[in-house]
Chain A
Amino acid sequence: MTLLKAYLRGLREGWFVLGYTLCVCLSVFILAPFLMIALRSVGKGWFGKLWLPPQLTWDWYRWAIEVGNIPEVMKNTLIIGVIAVAVSTVIGIFAGWAFGRRQLPGKELLMAIVLLPRMIPPITYALGVAKIFYTLELVDTHLGVALAHVSVCAPFAILVLSATFEGLDERVLEAASVCGANTVKRFFYVVLPLIMPGILASMLFSFTHSYNEFTLTLLTYGPNTVTLPVRTYLAVGDGYWEITSAMAVIMVVPSLAILAMIQRRAKPEKLVGGFKGV
Chain B
Amino acid sequence: MTGFWRRHSIHGITGLLLLPAILCFFGLFFYPMLLTIVLSFRPEGQAVGWTLENYTRFLASPDGRWVILLTFILAVGSTALSVLLSVPLALTLREKIRGHRFYRLMVIVPLVVPGLIGALGLLLFWGTRGWFNLFLTQFVPFLPSPLRVNYTIHGLILFYVWLYFPYTCVTTMSALESLDQSIEEAGAVVGANRWQVLRYIVLPLITPGILAGSVLTFMAAFGAFSVPLIAGGDYRPLAVEIYKEISIPIPARWSAASAIAIVMGILQVAFLAMYMRIVRRAGGNAGAVR
Contacts and interface: CB of A to CB of B under 8 A. Distances in A.
A255 to B, nearest CB: 5
B125 A33 contact: yes
Interface string B128-140: 0111101001100
Contacts of A32: 121, 125, 131-132
Contact of B124 (A40, A97, A124, A255): A40
B103 interface: yes
A36 B97 contact: no
B111 A271 contact: yes
B97 A20 contact: yes
B11 interface: yes
B114 A214 contact: yes
A269 B90 CA distance: 14
Interface string A226-269: 00110011001000010011001001100110110011000011
A95 B20 contact: yes
Nearest to B36: A128
Nearest to A153: B24
Contacts of B254: 127, 131
A91 B24 contact: yes
B105 interface: yes
A98 interface: yes
B118 A33 contact: yes
A127 B255 CA distance: 10
A37 B118 CA distance: 9
Interface residues of A, number: 87
B203 interface: no
Interface string B263-290: 0110011001000100000000000000
B73 interface: no
A34 B144 CA distance: 28
Given A97-B17, A215-B226, A31 B31 contact: no
A123 B21 contact: no
A259 B110 CA distance: 10
Given A102-B11, A228-B114, 7 more contacts: A116-B29, A123-B261, A147-B28, A150-B24, A151-B29, A214-B114, A215-B239
Give the top 5 A-B pairs by smallest Cβ distance, nearest first: A33-B121, A128-B32, A121-B223, A19-B92, A151-B28
Interface of B: 7-11, 13-14, 16-21, 24-25, 28-29, 31-36, 39, 85, 88-89, 91-93, 95, 97, 99, 102-118, 120-122, 124-125, 129-132, 134, 137-138, 162, 166-167, 170-171, 174, 194, 212-213, 215-216, 219, 222-223, 225-226, 229-230, 238-239, 242-243, 246, 254, 257-258, 261-262, 264-265, 268-269, 272, 276
Interface of A: 12, 16, 19-20, 22-23, 26-27, 29-34, 36-37, 40, 47-49, 51, 87, 90-91, 94-95, 97-98, 102-105, 110, 113-114, 116-117, 119-129, 131-132, 147-148, 150-151, 154, 158, 208, 211-212, 214-215, 218-219, 228-229, 232-233, 236, 241, 244-245, 248, 251-252, 255-256, 258-259, 262-263, 268-269, 271-272, 275-276, 278
12 contacts: A20-B97, A32-B121, A36-B124, A36-B131, A103-B14, A124-B36, A127-B36, A147-B28, A259-B108, A262-B108, A271-B111, A275-B212
